[in-house]
Amino acid sequence: MSATIINGKEISAQIRQELRQQIQELHHARGITPGLAVILVGEDPASQSYVTAKERACQETGIYSDDNRLPATTTQQELLQLIQQKNQDPRIHGILVQLPLPRHIDEQAVIAAIAPEKDVDGFSPISLGRLMLGQPTFLSCTPHGIIQLLLRSHVNTDGAHVVVVGRSNIVGKPVANLLFQKAAGGNATVTICHRHTRDLAHFTRQADILIAAAGAPHTITKEMVKPGAVVIDVGVNRVSAPDSPRGYRLQGDVDFAEVSQVASQITPVPGGVGPMTITMLLYNTVLAAKGEIR
Ligand code: GUN
């Protein structure tokens, strides 16, 4: 059997089209242009390329992008002051501080300083608490992107056994929580596996839907997947590729060629989950501009 590809680029383009429409309506009806402040501290190449992609996506969708690139020597105090300024700026509806931050800055203190009504990354304790309680909030972008991929590919999560491999604050914990909520794209039975799980394959083989978010290539091989399972690969590992112009290529956590022989549907890397993350950030920025999350 050969799996159907879940095309994140296509689904992402569809959602961005829906957002353009909403942005135009917001502008006509209420004179509001959604604004996103993006803050990058330091020169990490992967972060720089994410931030550039976010800025471009804003411009293409009709969102005002306020770009703040600060040196790696920026102090925590200076960063907190900038966040306070953006919290009070009426042109800014969403604030995103690119992670990871330099080691001298306390990431949790910075995230907590973002006003809850502007927390478009959905990483603050308030946003994550609301997510867990099933209250309206900004859903973290990659987890929400995964739910949208499943919904728009007509994958039924209701009563399904979903196995999540990885327990990060950014992906594993929030996506597991979304999947068991009483909501569309929820109502699943969820198992979370991680570094300390004994006999990982014992669990992954039971998954109707397998979500790989471990951050390591070759985490999921063909023998670990039940025939007919839906496989979502969140991995974006840079592996050396001397022949490619950049000297590296992106590889997921899943051995795509062999797993696609047994899965029913699968996301590729790149072009699966990746494009959805920025799209759901745009979605959250529009949601923030509507003023419905306080
Ligand atoms: N670093 C890697 N992914 C993300 C993300 O979704 N948001 C932020 N702020 N930083 C990241």
DSSP line for 191-260: EEE-TT-SSHHHHHTT-SEEEE-SSSTTSB-GGGS-TT-EEEE---EEEE-TTSTTSEEEE-SB-HHHHT
Distance of CA 69 to the CA centre of its chain: 22
Alpha carbon distance 118, 128 (integer Å): 14
Nearest to 273 by CA among 6, 4, 8, 49: 8
Where does the pLDDT of residue 15 fall: very low under 50, low under 70, confident under 90, or very high at 90 and above?
Answer: very high
Q: Is 189 exposed, middle or buried (0-12, 13-18, 19+ CB in 10 A)?
A: middle
Q: Is 245 exposed, middle or buried (0-12, 13-18, 19+ CB in 10 A)?
A: exposed
For the CA of 141, the nearest atom of ligand 1: 6
Residue 126 has a CB neighbour count (10 Å cut-off) of 17
Q: Is 290 designated active site? A: no
Instruction: Please write the tens of the pLDDT for every residue from 76-86.
Output: 999 999 999 99
pLDDT of the residue at 269: 98
How much distance in Å is there from the Cα of 281 to the middle of ligand 1?
10
pLDDT tens per residue across span 137-148: 999 999 999 999
Cα(291)–Cα(77) distance, integer angstroms: 28
pLDDT tens column, 97-134: 999 999 999 999 999 999 999 999 999 999 999 999 99
Instruction: Give 148's contacts (C-beta < 8 A, 6+ positions apart).
Output: 11, 15, 185, 276, 280
Kindly name the residue from 66, 86, 119, 121 that is annotated as catalytic: 121
- As a whole-number percent, the residues of the chain with pLDDT over 90 amount to 99
In tens, the pLDDT along 24-35 reads 999 999 999 999
Q: Give how far Cα 136 sits from Cα of 85, 90, 155, 294, Å.
A: 26, 22, 23, 9
What is the dihedral angle through the alpha carbons of 131, 136, 140, 145, rounded to the nearest 10 degrees?
Answer: 110
Instruction: Report DSSP letters for 61-78, one per residue.
Output: HT-EEEEEEE-TT--HHH
Q: Which two tokens mark 168?
A: 């990060």
Q: Determine whether the shortest distance from the Cβ of 141 to ligand 1 is under 6 A.
A: yes
* Any ligand 1 atom below 6 A from CB of 216: no
Q: Is the CB of 51 under 6 A from ligand 1?
A: no
pLDDT in tens, 227-271: 999 999 999 999 999 999 999 999 999 999 999 999 999 999 999
**SS3 of 18, please?**
helix
| Residue 106 designated active-site | no
- Name the nearest CA neighbour of 288 among 58, 10, 12: 58
Rounded to two decimals, the pTM is: 0.97
User: Residue 276 pLDDT more than 90?
Assistant: yes
Q: Is 9 a catalytic residue?
A: no
